[in-house]
Amino acid sequence: MTTQLLSRQQLVHKALSYVGYYDLHPDVSINFQLNRWVQWLGDASALKDMQTVAPKIKTYTDLRHEFLLLSEQALQQNRSLAAAYYLRTAEFFVWADDPQKHPMRDNFVQLMRQCYGITEDEQYQIPYQTGFLPAYRFTPPQPKATLVFFGGYDSYIEEFFPIAFFFVEAGYDVVIFEGPGQGGALEDAGLKMIPEWEQPVKTVLDYFGLNEVILMGISLGGGLVIRAAAFEPRVRYVIADDILCNATETFLKSFPATLKAQVEQHLTNHDINQLNTLFNQIMPQSPILEWGIRQGMHIMGTATPYDFLQATQSYNTIDISHRIRADVLLLAGSEDHYVPLHQLYQQAEALTNVRSLTTRVFTRSEQAQNHVQVGNIGLSVRFIANWLDFMIHETI
């Protein structure tokens, strides 16, 4: 059966029934990306594709080339969803100023909409400042409540259609959107990322006339959701999937100890020239570092590595967490290669005035140990759904 013949429900079942996190590539970051698409496609053919191309990938140029070929092959085989996700992989590592980036992104979005049968009346462009926030709304009959969610640092909201429709099937009215620095808000409307995430959340809630909502953030969104809930009283339930209370620490997590210490010292001392010189020297020697810095400057709208790293320091939730009075669920992976596990405990301790607090750590034995539970996302969304059903039932 080809992708085009599968219903939304079947696509969701495939993605969220699949379990397995594999050692496909020696580079931790690339390995995560490969596992990410195996998860969303949820079948053996995707795993075979990853196992085939992984040995050919030595550089990000290799990755772009191989995944463009995979996308073209998948289209020829009538595997439209695989073609979409593989195109997204290639586009993910294309520089922001590359003229190929926008056409690749547009093709990805259109393929995802086609595969999931997204109708025009389910798509929105919400006016916001000088641009707009892309959004989708999916409403089942007699919904239990409204779930509003968003992604993180550089995600596209279309990637999360399986999660959205899982919760629709579970009985929730679902609104998903991209805020400043994300997806179409960045690439099409030119809105750079901001730490004051209550602003786009307020705009979305106002636009749809929503109150008493469930608010969920994924990846960096796990930090943004805490910030939004601290200042938006219409948030009744908060879900951080995963936690991320200190963006600077998260970004520097993979740095060698000596380099990390140098960067931290330069930031503390405001050594602008020294830090920029340091990065200009080492970026050409480290493709992943060069990509991370350039991608960060694009998302944050900053001109130099120093400005980017300074900007990340505003994405810290500890000082505002005491303002939240909602019911809160914090999720984490025991071996998250982006976010240190101790941030879970730091975030939990800072939530001193919440109505209730639940934490959940996912582990290797569950194949959900890494970032946002790639390898067993079905387990995490079922846990969230059970938590919500319990909390809403207790409230009634």
Please report which confidence band the pLDDT of residue 2 belongs to, taking 50, 70 and 90 as the band edges. very low
Please report which confidence band the pLDDT of residue 3 belongs to, taking 50, 70 and 90 as the band edges. very low
pLDDT in tens, 84-132: 999 999 998 888 889 999 999 999 999 999 999 999 999 999 999 999 9
Helical spans, DSSP H, in the chain: 8-17, 28-41, 44-53, 60-76, 80-92, 101-115, 161-169, 183-187, 198-208, 221-231, 247-252, 257-269, 272-282, 287-300, 305-312, 342-350, 377-395
Provide the angle, in degrees to the nearest 10, between the axes of the packed helices 8-17 and 161-169.
110
**Mean pLDDT lowest among 215-229, 285-299, 329-343:** 285-299
Locus of tokens 């239990």: 144
What is the per-residue pLDDT for 79? 95
Please report which confidence band the pLDDT of residue 385 belongs to, taking 50, 70 and 90 as the band edges. very high
Model pTM score: 0.95
Rounded CA separation 307/159 (Å):
29
Which tokens in the block code for residue 191? 């809105």
- Please give the domain boundaries of the chain with CATH numbers for all domains: 3-114 (no CATH), 124-246+315-395 (3.40.50.1820), 248-312 (no CATH)
Percent of the chain with pLDDT over 70: 98
| CB distance 321 to 309 below 8 Å | no
What is the per-residue pLDDT for 312? 96
**Mean pLDDT lowest among 107-121, 236-250, 278-292, 352-366:** 278-292
SS3 367: coil
Rounded CA separation 371/334 (Å):
9
